């Protein structure tokens, strides 16, 4: 589904990603962990097509297509979804209006009829129940004045509505209370299928109790320096990153 080869990217001449290699297949869940500032969000942004980052080398193939030259909205329409680490607020725009625009632009891209108000409302209700989000949150302006946790929940709600092929969750667990964490994880699990894949960026092993990954990768200094299975997350939880940093730095 997603093939990243030797990806280098940076901003204003500063290299942040220094050769990322990663393959994600349909039906898989990958966890990416790593110290602050190692480049996790940058990787997510580059995949989503944020223009301020410059890709200097490498390839990214998504569902058989090279996406590096694609506009961010087209990547989204192809089925790539990013749950932002810091979702933005859009005052005066209702979730309803925002998501209807999104859903129908995606549908049009895929050659489908736009959803009418009735069918859209049905979709909203169904997904609201699925991710346990309150109507009153949806009625408000998009993310405006939402608490940190509410914003994260809303990201998952949007993911449920858009039914992406590949979801990248950038620290969606940060700032969630225990119950919300369970709700969000449940949502992600309900949306999981053999046809889609998920990349979860997280600092905490705890999330991986709920969303069980097939692979865990450690991103450090712009590279994936270690990959393993779920047990790697436990090891990191226990020992921190120093041992990995030492390993990497001694080789270099």
Residues that bind other proteins (CB under 8 A): 48-52, 71-73, 76-77, 81-82, 84, 87-88, 90-93, 97-99, 101-103, 105-106, 109, 141-142, 158, 162
Q: How far from 213 is each of 72, 124, 242, CA to CA, in Å? A: 27, 28, 23
- Which partner, ligand ATP, Mg ion, other proteins, none, binds residue 102 by CB below 5 to 8 Å per kind? other proteins
Tokens of 79: 């089925």
Shortest distance, position 16 Cβ to ligand ATP, whole Å:
4
**E strand or H helix at 3:** strand 2-11
x/- map, 11-50, Mg ion, by CB under 5 A:
-----------------------------xx---------
Of 124, 228, 211, whose CA–CA distance to 169 is shortest? 211
Q: Which is nearer to Mg ion, 80 or 201 (CB)?
A: 201
Shortest distance, position 28 Cβ to Mg ion, whole Å:
21
Binding residues with ligand ATP: total (CB under 6 A): 12
Q: Which is nearer to Mg ion, 33 or 128 (CB)?
A: 33
* Segment interacting with ligand ATP (CB under 6 A) among 22-30, 33-41, 102-110, 233-241: 33-41
Of 40, 49, 50, whose CA–CA distance to 17 is shortest? 40
Strands 166-170 and 197-201: parallel
Q: What is the DSSP string of 180-239?
A: HHHHHHHHHHHH--SS-EEEEE-S-HHHHHHS--SEEEEEETTEEEEEE-HHHHHHHHHH
Asked if residue 202 binds ligand ATP (CB under 6 A), the reply is no
- Which partner, ligand ATP, other proteins, Mg ion, none, binds residue 38 by CB below 5 to 8 Å per kind? ligand ATP
Q: Give 97's DSSP letter.
A: H
CA dist., res. 79 & res. 71, Å (int): 13
Residues that bind Mg ion (CB under 5 A): 40-41, 85
Which residues are at the interface with ligand ATP (CB under 6 A)? 11, 16, 34, 36-42, 52, 85
């Amino acid at each position: 589904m997603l093939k990243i080869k030797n990806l280098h990217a940076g901003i204003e001449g500063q290299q942040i990603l220094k050769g990322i290699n990663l393959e994600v297949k349909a039906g898989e869940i990958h966890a990416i962990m790593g110290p602050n500032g190692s480049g996790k969000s940058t990787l997510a942004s580059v995949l989503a097509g944020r223009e301020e980052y410059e890709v200097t080398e490498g390839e990214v193939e998504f569902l058989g297509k090279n996406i590096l030259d694609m506009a961010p909205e087209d990547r989204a329409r192809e089925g790539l979804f990013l749950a932002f680490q810091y979702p933005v607020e859009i005052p005066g725009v209702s979730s309803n209006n925002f998501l209807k625009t999104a859903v129908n632009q995606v549908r049009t891209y895929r050659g489908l009829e736009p959803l009418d108000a009735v069918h859209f409302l049905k979709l909203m209700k169904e997904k609201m129940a699925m991710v346990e989000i309150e109507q009153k949150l949806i009625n408000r302006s998009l993310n405006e004045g939402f608490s940190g946790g509410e914003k994260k929940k809303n990201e998952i709600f949007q993911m449920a509505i858009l039914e992406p092929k590949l979801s990248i969750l950038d620290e969606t667990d940060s700032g969630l209370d225990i119950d919300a964490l369970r709700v969000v994880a449940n949502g992600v699990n309900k949306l999981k299928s053999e046809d889609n894949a998920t990349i979860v960026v997280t600092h905490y092993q705890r999330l991986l109790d709920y969303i069980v990954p097939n692979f865990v990768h450690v991103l450090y200094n712009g590279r994936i320096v270690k990959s393993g299975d779920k047990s790697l997350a436990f090891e990191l939880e226990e020992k921190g990153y120093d041992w990995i940093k030492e390993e990497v730095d001694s080789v270099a």
